[in-house]
Chains A and B, each alone.
Chain A
Amino acid sequence: KAGVTQTPRYLIKTRGQQVTLSCSPISGHRSVSWYQQTPGQGLQFLFEYFSETQRNKGNFPGRFSGRQFSNSRSEMNVSTLELGDSALYLCASSSPSGKLYEQYFGPGTRLTVT
């Protein structure tokens, strides 16, 4: 079974631009979560989608948004990029029949904002 895939792997944007990141979960997984990873703040939860609905949301500004499609693929969008948005963005999926906290992570998208 293929793992979680994320595209693109690397991205460079300038302040004020917007960006869309994509995540394809493991086949059969319907829950997709997004995390931001930085050296200073570590891994922080952004949001979770299940069956095309946002089920949980972390403490991030409204510039961060996401969505999920009927095939469980998910995208996250960051508008009006700031330098502090530079981070590794990780997507994770979990199985409906397994432990909810047993997340399968993708390799991440490294976003650099200049």
Chain B
Amino acid sequence: GESVGLHLPTLSVQEGDNSIINCAYSNSASDYFIWYKQESGKGPQFIIDIRSNMDKRQGQRVTVLLNKTVKHLSLQIAATQPGDSAVYFCAENMEGYSTLTFGKGTMLLVSP
């Protein structure tokens, strides 16, 4: 598959653990913050989003937290599974535009 994680921070967890992936964003004027997952050999895949006027949003097994004071975003994955192993990117978006500004990414490795 495609190698995209040569210079990425890595988070290694055991199957069943909860994972927390962090991201510092740059633009305090961004309207939406989004998490994408990229598996080897594939393009990024949308996971969950949060609007800038919210501080928490939950999905299926995932929760995104937004702290605008320190421009920090986190993705929590509950009961991590081997299939969650991938590179995770946070992204910012301005309302009305489709353009995404991506963070550097974190590689998540889940051991059985």
- Which residues of A are interface residues toward B (Cβ below 8 A)? 4, 31, 33, 35, 37, 39-40, 42-45, 48, 56, 58, 88, 90, 92, 94, 99-108, 110
Contacts and interface: CB of A to CB of B under 8 A. Distances in A.
User: What is the interface residue range for chain B against chain A?
Assistant: 20 to 34
B6 interface: yes
Contact of A101 (B5, B49, B103, B104): B49
A101 B6 contact: no
B41 A103 contact: no
Given A101-B91, A110-B2, A4 B97 contact: no
Interface in B86-104: 89, 91, 93, 96-104
Main SS class of interface, A:
strand
B43 A102 contact: no
A31 B49 CA distance: 19
A40 B3 CA distance: 12
Given A99-B49, A103-B100, A40 B7 contact: yes
Interface string B7-36: 100000000000000000000000010100
B73 to A, nearest CB: 14
Nearest to B33: A101
A39 B7 contact: yes
Contacts of A99: 32, 49
A43 B41 contact: no
Contact of A90 (B41, B44, B46, B98): B44
Contacts of A105: 42-45
A94 B97 CA distance: 11
Contacts of B42: 105, 107
Given A88-B4, A106-B43, A31 B102 contact: no
Contact of B2 (A58, A101, A102, A108): A108
